[in-house]
Amino acid sequence: MVGLGPRRQPSRKGSMADMPRDLLQEIKRLEDLFTVDTTKLKAISDHFVSELAKGLSKEGGSIPMNPTWCMGFPTGHETGTFLALDMGGTNLRVCEIRLPEEVGEFDIIQSKYRMPEELKTGTADELWGYIADCLQQFIEYHHEGEKLDQLPLGFTFSYPATQDYIDHGVLQRWTKGFDIDGVEGKDVVPPFTEALAERGVPIKLTALINDTTGTLIASSYTDSEMRIGCIFGTGCNAAYMEHCGDIPKLEHMKLDPKQEIAINCEWGAFDNEHKILPRTQYDIIVDKDSPRPGQQAFEKMIAGLYLGELFRLVLVDLHENTNVKIFEGQDISSLKKAYSLDASFLSDIENDPFENLQETHDKFHSQLKIQCKKPELELIRRLAELIGTRSARLSACGVAAICKKKGYKTAHVGADGSVFNKYPHFKVSLLLTISTPVVGASTLTNDVHCRPAVHKP
Ligand code: GLC
């Protein structure tokens, strides 16, 4: 297990010494805008607790709290060979996992395929056809010439789905910028299995699961203290185990009240009614210009897909609309392209090791054709920190809320996703916030032991 104790971020005080007054004032304004203080964080996590409960009630709420029919944790004694398909925003991953007799052990073969950008807004047939093609390639590559029975497949479908059974799922709505007609409101399994059957691929879908549920279950396979699975990536969400007796909306099914079932929270929809989150003018633009305005309010303030966009919107505003006029006299047409900066752009700025922010300077020049002056670079760095820190601190409210709801004093949280894995400052801020008595106490582990893929040359 990887234990990550909270470590304070290095202080960068002093680097603002030669900053012109108006820029300093602008930085102060941005600090006020993007800083969420501990009183507010506490209020947010308290409200979050009641919204989690509302999602489980018969009336329902903004947070869907989807029952996944994944009943309880694995024991570690499971055996067999299974396929897993993960349809992410950037890549499609196919894995073959072998669970041997030894408790908690596993071997994995993995192949990655690019998820073409056009697919996200194309047709449903193109989407299912492409995925089936990738699975076919995987089978042909790794099982050439073998006579196979139907291989069982777990499909990680990382979007909100209503499930009456573990191998069905009606897409509630697309999130994370996907916008494919004719899929919402329908079971995604039949068209997917048809595409496989058309190609004669020997695979049987046995489970449709969310990435957060997958993280929770996979992490608990090797850690019996695992309580929550979280994704901090293109999107942001969590899953945890709830007792059937504490889920009023399942009351009519007369399930054993002590039986546990994984709940996919879909917490990205927290505060869609805008009661508590401190949205800025930039958050409002991100929402308005998205394919689904009014949805995923929380996710749009914290997830990787939106962090670079928020940062970009502030910079364009500072160039065009304020007294400060950063990048004065320069052509900022590259910066004006929506979604041209991803979250790694921000983490690279935060990780620039040079006092004079040379790497940030070069990045702006090469990627955006903008020459930054030293004070502008300082502002840029501070803005990247503010947006990343806000994301981590708000995310911590969700983790704390689940812990509070369940009465966990300590808990292991399995975390995955590009923002968590590639953004060191995000991890630190998240941990610092969770471990303050204000929002709760838990231990965060990044505990999915992924063995190196065995790829044939
Ligand atoms: C979005 C999806 C959710 C997923 C999360 C992380 O919030 O709606 O299902 O778990 O992104 O990928």
10-residue block means of pLDDT along the chain (457 residues)?
Answer: 44 62 92 96 96 98 98 92 89 93 88 92 96 96 89 96 97 94 96 96 96 94 90 96 98 98 98 98 97 96 97 97 88 97 95 95 98 96 97 95 92 91 86 66 43 29
Give the ligand 1 atom nearest the CA of 157.
9
**Which one from 93, 173, 390, 393 is the annotated catalytic residue?**
173
Q: Ligand 1 center to residue 329 CA distance, Å? A: 41
Task: Give 107-114's long-range contacts (Cβ < 8 A, gap of 24+).
Answer: 107/451, 107/454, 108/450, 108/451, 108/453, 108/454, 109/142, 109/453, 109/454, 109/455, 110/453, 110/455, 111/137, 111/138, 111/141, 111/142, 111/453, 111/455, 113/137, 114/90
Q: Ligand 1 center to residue 16 CA distance, Å? A: 38
pLDDT on residue 457: 28
**211 an active-site residue?**
yes
Q: What does the radius of gyration of the chain's CA atoms come to, in whole angstroms?
A: 23
Residue nearest atom 2 of ligand 1, based on CA coordinates: 159
C-alpha separations of 431 from 52, 222, 409, 428, 440 in Å: 22, 22, 15, 5, 11
Residue nearest atom 6 of ligand 1, based on CA coordinates: 235
Is residue 237 lining ligand 1, measured as CB closer than 6 Å? yes
pLDDT on residue 453: 28
Give the ligand 1 atom nearest the CA of 267.
7
The closest alpha carbon to 161, from 185, 196, 129, belongs to 185
**382 an active-site residue?**
no
Helical ranges in 37-88 per DSSP H? 38-56
Residue nearest atom 1 of ligand 1, based on CA coordinates: 235
Q: Report the percentage of the chain scoring pLDDT > 90.
A: 78
Residue of 158, 173, 299, 418 to test ligand 1 pocket, by largest number of atoms within 8 Å of CB: 158
Is residue 266 lining ligand 1, measured as CB closer than 6 Å? yes
Residue nearest atom 12 of ligand 1, based on CA coordinates: 235
pLDDT on residue 189: 97
Q: Ligand 1 center to residue 266 CA distance, Å? A: 6
Which tens digit of pLDDT belongs to each residue from 245-281?
999 999 999 999 999 999 999 999 999 999 999 999 9
Which helix (DSSP H) or strand (DSSP E) does residue 367 occupy? helix 358-368
Give the ligand 1 atom nearest the CA of 268.
7
Tokens for 132, please give them.
């089936």
Is residue 175 lining ligand 1, measured as CB closer than 6 Å? yes
Residue of 92, 162, 175 to test ligand 1 pocket, by largest number of atoms within 8 Å of CB: 175
Is residue 211 lining ligand 1, measured as CB closer than 6 Å? yes
Please give the Cα distance from 72 to 79 (Å, whole number).
17
Residue nearest atom 9 of ligand 1, based on CA coordinates: 159
Cα angle at 284 between 278 and 287, to 5 degrees?
115
Contact (Cβ atoms closer than 8 angstroms) between residue 30 and residue 314 = yes
pTM, rounded to two decimals: 0.91
Please, what is the average pLDDT of the chain?
90
Residue of 231, 305, 394, 421 to test ligand 1 pocket, by largest number of atoms within 8 Å of CB: 231
β-pair partners for 156 = 86, 209
